[in-house]
Structure 1
Amino acid sequence: MSDREELQLLLVDDEASVVDSLAETLPWPDIGIANVFKAYSGQEALEILNTNSVDVIISDIRMPGMDGMELLAQVKRRWKRIKFILLSGHAEFAYAQQALAHETFDYLLKPASDEEILTKVELAVEALRRERDEYRMHERVAKAFQESLPKLRGELLSELLQGFKYSPERLEKRMDSLKIDLRPGAPYSLMLVRVEGQLLEMDFYSLSLMEYAIVNMAEEWFEDRFALWSCKSVHGYLAFVVTATPEAALELTADGLEQELRHKASQLQLSVDHYLRGTVSVLISKRGEFPLDVKRLYDDLLLALRRQIGSQTGLFVQAADEIEQQPVRSLQRLYEPPLLLHLLESGNWELTEEKLTGIWSELNQRWAHSPEHLTEVFFSVYASYASFAHKNGRALADMIGPALSDVAGLLPSRSAASLQGWMLDSFRMIRQSMENEERDDREVAVGKIKSFVQKHLVEDVSLQTLADFMYMHPVHVSRLFKLQTGENLSDYVLRLKMELAASLLANPAMKSYEVSLRLGYQNPNYFNKVFKKYYSLTPQEYRQKLASTFDDPRTRP
């Protein structure tokens, strides 16, 4: 709500002279009130509320018939956003306090001055404007979220296809927020659509429009029997989670649903050819349970695509059982997101170590005696370590040492135990190297801060000035200094100023007020207060103590 929007006020009191005087004499437009309604009883106030939009009410408590408390109760029950201000005498003060517990905005004690009344109403107006601004902001956010739902749903499915791990509780919450009606353990099939032929020759924008059209076609063809949840996978294919509608699940058997799914998928393929003049290959997986089988079924479809379709176009394939059961499978933890390299780059050392432990655990349980899997893990982890080192402008050997970085003979991949030792030892060296570098960077940054403070001590050394000098946020400057030195930045500046003040006060030729001005304190009294708080002596007392010390023969040089 902008400041130019004006609100409406209702005055309620059985004393007509009070209502008329307030309505006609106070400058209501100056505080944002456009119209003032008048009611001389609680019942008349309700009649006005039933036919007019009112934002603020000022009502007396003691009225014949319906009193102010009863009116308040009805208003809060039917018009929750109205700001209600009670007028009460001292004898009714307890009632006014009780009313505050009933969500009254505020109260006024009689006799209230014009200024008090205007102030209370202006506060109510400001509160209403804030609430309406917040409500409209919430509406805009909700609208933007609603418009982003297809994209957000697609991102979640893409993560699941890659093997991203969610706790059951977190996955359920995220799916509820995205309005995806798919419960754990629900049966489903995966459908993969590969765009081919002349469609791939289109520019990015045109291809995106075609893919959008294909998704819409799929939803139209499947909607009477199936619900679809779609995304574009990391391999560039359109992927669909296909679940039967409750009606179809009751009407058809599992074989009937599978047959219906094949029919719908075939019709989709023909529709793309007919309406879009394009070619697609379609693959359908066996049924699985959500979310347990998402990654496995997707990998099976990719394998079927490579084996049964390859470079051919316009084919329709249903993944067979023998395709699903492979004697040798890839390591899941090694390639599922977040990838090892990404965890290293994020600097989350705990999650990185957890990832390494998970990789080794899977390897040790299933492929501990497979030289190929051992070598695969070694090269993948080594590549992540080397890439991370290079992105930090370092050679891997400089971070983990020549012994751990030497790949001659591939000694770390001779056994699962030796590979585990190499992975964790190398990781700890990388972590130590980065933490040392971080400390060095902090030390350099704090050195710059100290140098700036010392050079500009009698000028502006505010936190904002230091932040501008360091190109950092003020909060970060303060935390960085405290982390490195153990001292608050403000305490450090004060300490230097007071030490300089003590040094200047040792010169009897300088007046105390001159020392104050020299240090940037324009108010000598304030300087005296700060100095005494620091040294427990005023500047004059400090000088006297110096003089007595100098006069003492025992302290003379």
Structure 2
Amino acid sequence: MRRMLIVDDEPLIADGLYTFFAKADIEDMEILKVYSAKQALEWLDTVKVDIVLSDICMPGMDGMQLIQEIVDRWPRCKVILLTGHNEFEYAHQAIRNPCVADYLLKTEGMEKIRETVEQTLKQIARENDFRYQAEWFQEKMPKALPQLQRQLLLDLLKRRGAKAWMNLQEEFDAIRLPFRAELAVLPMLLRIEEWGSYESQSDQRLLCYAAANIAEELLGDKAAVKVAELDSRSLVCYIQPHAGQLQQHGLEQGWERTIRFVMGTLESIQQSCRDCLRLSVSIIAANQAVQWGGLQQSVNRLGLAVFDSPGHGMEKLMRLDITGETAGLSLRQDKLAAAELLLEHMKQRLLEGSDDWMCSFRQWVEITGEGGPDDPFLRLRLLHGIADVSLRTVQEAGLSEEAGREHDLAPMLHFNIHTRWSDIIAFYRETCQWIVLRRRDSCRLDESHILMNIHHYIKQHLDGDLSLTRIAQEVSLNPSYLSRWYKKVTGRGISDYILERRVEKSKELLLGTTLRMQDISGQLGFSDQHYFFRFFKKAVGCTPQEYRDQRKGAAETKM
């Protein structure tokens, strides 16, 4: 949301500009108005302002002094200066200031001022446009590339479903990863077995980084390769043939040569880590490339092979057949990884109060089996996983107290490997149904409470600040979001509600009191009673005095 602040010590001009721009209905822009530079500073100290439309000659602090205060607070704010006189010295000073977008005479008219505001908005948009910032982005991005690349490489191990891979090449290109999405990938795992004399976490992280560099340098001679830190002592390595290999030898031979080179280089990587870093490193490489969608399962198998092979803690060098008999070793690992992911999806849907949780729950039941897994270790891990997610969901949803009164969670403490799996499924299905129903009630109550607070604040401050920014502060929401949310919930804008309340309050004061028009206009937030007259006539169809006289006359006639 853009925000424009109108500053003029003449209320008639400030109100006129405010009304004009409020009616102009410029998309996603809030209009604020004040009657002095001092009041302007109060707004500038509270919220970010994008455009200031200010008079130059004002008592106390003039427009030129205000510019310095604006620049000090919001360097990217644009200032449009207004004056009633063609003052060359002011114009000369203004043009030299980079934040001044234009210098206008008030006599040039409202349409000229509007045109200037719209041009200034376009200028702001251009400055914020990605293409405008491309030069800066190109300078800063190289520093962030390693972290961005690592995040994407790790994210690839969590993706599920065909849609997750649709724009993979674009993602690679955006952060300069040397991979091709249409090609398979060869996964490899490096695990630090002994740290030697390196005990601090900072030293160990640096050594992981150094080991990754060694692997990338040695394998990079003949392959496209990137290494990412999987955990505190494990590195995952992604490998594809160089484009030149494929062009020269074709896909099949290119892969054969790349895999042969990789397998022959593994010992050199271990040797370099040992000689240069004094690190003992195990390396487990897949025997063949896999599609990106099968990466998670393959890396899980490589990790499991580290622990399932004899000689724990020794410096292993393994080439794993991920499609042969050893594939069965990862069944437990695969199920646990899939179950964990599904439960996290289910948790998010429950917190949203969405029925979509049922899809994730059904998938969890499918992978665990209707009767549950036979492996007691896997069964226990799955029980622990769903219990942990359920308790975290109850806590994050703020339902801990309600659970104690309405839904007994104690049975999960008594579930064990001998409990019938159907009873476990039934209990957690019922628990999830209770959570989502209570969460919906809570969301509706929250929305109702926010709406009530908004309406109460407006009714109590009809004579004060009813800007969208101030109302949003009252309920701790983003102003732009509040505007969209209010319209979605009520079917109308906040300004429409404010208008209705002002009309309603003005009628009450006209008929229920003997207050003068000037006093009534002040209680409704109008700095000028003529502005109040125009507002009332447009809304009701007659002037305030005519309304008072007509209604009182009708009441006397009935008597």
Q: Same fold (TM over 0.5)?
A: yes
Return the alpha-carbon distance in structure 1 between the equivalents of residues 277 and 144 of structure 2: 26
| Distance of aligned partners of 1:233 and 1:507 in 2 relative to their CA distance in 1, 3 Å threshold | closer
Q: Select which of 408, 419, 431 maps to 1:426.
A: 431
Q: How many residues align?
A: 438
Q: Select which of 538, 551, 554 maps to 1:546.
A: 551
- Match status 1:220 vs 2:217: yes
| Distance of aligned partners of 1:542 and 1:191 in 2 relative to their CA distance in 1, 3 Å threshold | same
Return the alpha-carbon distance in structure 2 between the equivalents of residues 516 and 462 of structure 1: 18
| Distance of aligned partners of 1:463 and 1:138 in 2 relative to their CA distance in 1, 3 Å threshold | same
> Counterpart of 1:292?
293
- Match status 1:206 vs 2:211: no
Q: Select which of 193, 207, 224 maps to 1:196.
A: 193
* TM-score of the pair, normalised by structure 2: 0.66
| Displacement after TM superposition at 1:516 (Å) | 2.1
- Match status 1:323 vs 2:326: yes
Superposition map of 1:386-401 within 5 A: 386-395=391-400, 398=403, 401=406
> Counterpart of 2:478?
473
- Aligned residue for 2:515, secondary structure, equals coil
| Displacement after TM superposition at 1:190 (Å) | 2.0
Identity %, equivalent residues: 18
| Distance of aligned partners of 1:195 and 1:341 in 2 relative to their CA distance in 1, 3 Å threshold | farther
Listed as ranges, the gaps of 5+ residues in structure 1 are 1-26, 33-118
Return the alpha-carbon distance in structure 1 between the equivalents of residues 512 and 128 of structure 2: 63
CA contact (8 A) 2:193 2:313 kept: no
> Counterpart of 1:153?
149
Decide which structure has the larger Cα Rg and report it. 1
Return the alpha-carbon distance in structure 2 between the equivalents of residues 379 and 228 of structure 1: 37
| Displacement after TM superposition at 1:134 (Å) | 6.6
CA contact (8 A) 1:389 1:396 kept: no
CA contact (8 A) 1:498 1:534 kept: yes
Q: Give the partner amino acid of 1:243.
A: Q
- Match status 1:381 vs 2:386: yes
1:207-230 CA distance string (max 9 Å, x none):
232222222222221222222121
| Distance of aligned partners of 1:313 and 1:143 in 2 relative to their CA distance in 1, 3 Å threshold | farther
CA contact (8 A) 1:467 1:474 kept: yes
CA contact (8 A) 2:286 2:320 kept: yes
| Distance of aligned partners of 1:349 and 1:171 in 2 relative to their CA distance in 1, 3 Å threshold | farther
Superposition map of 1:509-520 within 5 A: 509-520=514-525
Q: Give the partner amino acid of 2:134.
A: H
1:268-318 CA distance string (max 9 Å, x none):
110111112222122112213221331222122112110225642323222
| Displacement after TM superposition at 1:512 (Å) | 2.9
1:94-123 CA distance string (max 9 Å, x none):
xxxxxxxxxxxxxxxxxxxxxxxxx99xx9
| Displacement after TM superposition at 1:29 (Å) | 13
CA contact (8 A) 1:187 1:287 kept: no
| Displacement after TM superposition at 1:378 (Å) | 4.8
Return the alpha-carbon distance in structure 2 between the equivalents of residues 171 and 327 of structure 1: 26
- Aligned residue for 1:516, secondary structure, equals helix
CA contact (8 A) 1:333 1:358 kept: no
| Distance of aligned partners of 1:361 and 1:173 in 2 relative to their CA distance in 1, 3 Å threshold | farther
| Distance of aligned partners of 1:374 and 1:217 in 2 relative to their CA distance in 1, 3 Å threshold | closer
Return the alpha-carbon distance in structure 2 between the equivalents of residues 187 and 150 of structure 1: 22
Superposition map of 1:54-453 within 5 A: 137-165=133-161, 167=163, 168-183=165-180, 186-198=183-195, 201-234=198-231, 236-246=233-243, 250=249, 257-308=258-309, 311-320=312-321, 321-326=324-329, 328-330=331-333, 331=335, 332-336=337-341, 339-340=344-345, 343-344=348-349, 347=352, 349=354, 352-364=357-369, 370=374, 377-395=382-400, 398=403, 401-402=406-407, 406-407=411-412, 410=415, 422-453=427-458
| Displacement after TM superposition at 1:533 (Å) | 2.7
Instruction: Say what the alpha-carbon RMSD is for the aligned residues.
Output: 4.2
- Aligned residue for 1:500, secondary structure, equals helix
1:513-539 CA distance string (max 9 Å, x none):
332233332322221222223322321
1:25-65 CA distance string (max 9 Å, x none):
xx999979xxxxxxxxxxxxxxxxxxxxxxxxxxxxxxxxx
Return the alpha-carbon distance in structure 1 between the equivalents of residues 291 and 468 of structure 2: 53
Listed as ranges, the gaps of 5+ residues in structure 2 are 1-90, 97-114
| Displacement after TM superposition at 1:384 (Å) | 0.7
- Match status 1:528 vs 2:525: no
With 406-415 and 503-512 compared, the bigger mean Cα shift is at 406-415
CA contact (8 A) 2:537 2:544 kept: yes
| Displacement after TM superposition at 1:396 (Å) | 8.1
With 188-197 and 198-207 compared, the bigger mean Cα shift is at 198-207
- Aligned residue for 2:154, secondary structure, equals helix
CA contact (8 A) 2:463 2:523 kept: yes
| Displacement after TM superposition at 1:233 (Å) | 1.0
| Displacement after TM superposition at 1:389 (Å) | 1.0
Return the alpha-carbon distance in structure 1 between the equivalents of residues 513 and 555 of structure 2: 13
Q: Give the partner amino acid of 1:549.
A: A
| Distance of aligned partners of 1:458 and 1:379 in 2 relative to their CA distance in 1, 3 Å threshold | same
CA contact (8 A) 1:374 1:415 kept: no
| Distance of aligned partners of 1:409 and 1:287 in 2 relative to their CA distance in 1, 3 Å threshold | same
